């Protein structure tokens, strides 16, 4: 650390303290982010490697650029050395403790949106936007966004992390509800929450528990319904049991806000209502076209349509998938899909095609068990007879088959 000098702690990131400092020779201001490694033998975490690689590739006036990586003296961590917006550096949380004047809010918000737009244009979602991750030079009101450690190229999985109260206050509802389908809208929600805090000096949502911000958001804007957020009741099963209060008018909460500011504060809600569903569909549709033999992609695509109640659309996707998975696994998945939607006759029709394409003993047994569950004893007997026929004259195989069959029946009792 001889090359850099720490001045003071100015905040806390996802993995350690953040200090203002300067280069020991040139005295250029820098920002030092401490990253402690739980086990140095495991090396640098993959999400941190991703952040370093990304920040080394990009250059934007409102995103902190990484300059250097320094090992701890005890080798139990590293310092990431970032450029600094200026010498008098504070995070936006401390700057906005009493609320900011309209001109400062406009200037800061504009710069945050420029940074977010740049990230989104590079198919990257920040996912952890909050005042503690936004640093301001209070002399020239220049701002830079930091801490992309949780950011993820869109289309990847959103990582679970230790979710502190300071993060939950700014997390979009779909993240709080552990939705597997997230879009750029989650960053816009966070921007709206930061905007609200700059207006009042306090966080928009309380955060005593994981669901606290969710409850407060619903009180402010009303509980979302299937009409305002398609698929919400399937995503969060508790919602139908809640009383559904009419949300406050945002103008009542922020009476002095200009009309343009009110429109901007409402943008996250607009994103949730209009872009969430289409974006998720587009992602999975494109993924299944590029990698049609990856079953998990088809599962995800089918699941989102089912979550939205679009059974016909989900069925079409299953049928597309069958072209790439014509084996027994694909057929069984197709049958289970119809059974989940209580389409017994459709499932029976698919079973008939299944045993026609794959007339194996196991296929006929599956068909027989299906008929037994639906009380069709005669149909089940016929299926079992077809299974026995497949065994032929092999007495040992037939004896083993009957033994296994009796064991299955005993287990059900």
Would you please indicate which residues are annotated as catalytic (active-site) residues? Answer: 128
Q: In angstroms, how far is the first alpha carbon of the chain from the final one? A: 70
Backbone angles phi, psi at 338, to 5 degrees: -65, -40
Contacts of 202 (CB under 8 A, 6+ apart): none
Confirm if 7 and 32 have CB atoms less than 8 A apart. Answer: no
- Distances from the Cα of 252 to the Cα of 45, 244, 299, angstroms: 45, 19, 44
Confirm if 68 and 81 have CB atoms less than 8 A apart. Answer: yes
Contacts 24+ apart (CB under 8 A), 401-405: 401/361
Place of tokens 């995070």: 91
Place of tokens 């203002």: 20
DSSP per position, 130-195: -GGGEEEETTTTEEEE---TT-EEBTBPPPP----HHHHTT--HHHHTT-S---THHHHHHHHHHH
Task: Measure the CA–CA gap between 303 and 78, rounded to whole angstroms.
Answer: 41
Closest CA to 295 of 309, 311, 284: 284
Confirm if 173 and 217 have CB atoms less than 8 A apart. Answer: yes
3-state secondary structure of 77: strand
Sheet of strand 29-36, all strands in order from the earlier edge strand to the far edge: 4-12, 17-23, 29-36, 77-83, 66-71
Task: Measure the CA–CA gap between 163 and 210, rounded to whole angstroms.
Answer: 8
Closest CA to 174 of 271, 35, 312: 271
User: Cα angle at 157 between 155 and 161, to 5 degrees?
Assistant: 140
């Amino acid at each position: 650390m001889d090359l850099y000098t720490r001045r003071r702690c100015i905040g806390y990131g996802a993995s350690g303290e953040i200090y203002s400092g300067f280069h020991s020779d040139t005295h250029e201001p820098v920002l030092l982010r401490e990253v402690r490694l739980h086990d140095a033998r495991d090396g640098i975490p993959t999400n941190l490697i991703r952040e370093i690689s990304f920040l080394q590739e990009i250059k934007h006036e409102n995103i902190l650029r990484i300059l250097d990586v320094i090992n701890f003296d005890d080798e139990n961590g590293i310092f990431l050395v970032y450029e600094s917006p200026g010498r008098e550096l504070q995070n936006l949380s401390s700057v906005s403790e009493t609320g900011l004047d309209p001109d400062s809010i406009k200037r800061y918000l504009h710069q945050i949106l420029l940074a977010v737009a740049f990230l989104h244009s590079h198919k990257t979602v920040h996912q952890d936007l909050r005042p503690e991750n936004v640093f301001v030079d209070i002399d020239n009101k220049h701002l830079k966004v930091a801490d992309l450690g949780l950011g993820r190229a869109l289309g990847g999985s959103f990582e679970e992390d230790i979710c502190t109260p300071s993060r939950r206050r700014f997390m979009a509802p779909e993240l709080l509800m552990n939705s597997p389908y997230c879009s750029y809208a989650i960053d816009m929600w966070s921007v709206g929450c930061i905007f609200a805090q700059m207006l009042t000096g306090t966080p928009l949502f309380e955060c005593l528990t994981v669901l606290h911000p969710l409850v407060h958001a619903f009180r402010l804007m009303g509980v979302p319904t299937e009409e305002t957020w398609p698929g919400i009741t399937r995503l969060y099963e508790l919602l139908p049991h809640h009383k559904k209060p009419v949300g406050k008018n945002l103008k009542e909460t922020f009476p002095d806000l200009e009309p343009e500011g009110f429109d901007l504060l409402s943008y996250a809600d607009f994103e949730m209502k209009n872009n969430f569903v289409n974006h998720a569909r587009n992602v999975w549709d494109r993924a299944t076209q590029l990698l049609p033999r990856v079953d998990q992609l088809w599962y995800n695509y089918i699941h989102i349509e089912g979550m939205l109640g679009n059974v016909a659309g989900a069925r079409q996707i299953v049928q597309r998938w069958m072209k790439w998975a014509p084996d027994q696994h694909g057929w069984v998945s197709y049958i289970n899909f119809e059974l989940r939607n209580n389409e017994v006759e459709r499932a029976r029709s698919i079973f008939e095609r299944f045993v026609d394409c794959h007339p194996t003993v196991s296929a006929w047994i599956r068909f027989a068990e299906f008929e037994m569950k639906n009380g069709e004893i005669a149909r089940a007997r016929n299926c079992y007879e077809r299974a026995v026929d497949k065994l032929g004259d092999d007495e040992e195989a037939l004896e083993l088959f009957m033994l296994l069959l009796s064991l299955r029946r005993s287990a059900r009792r």
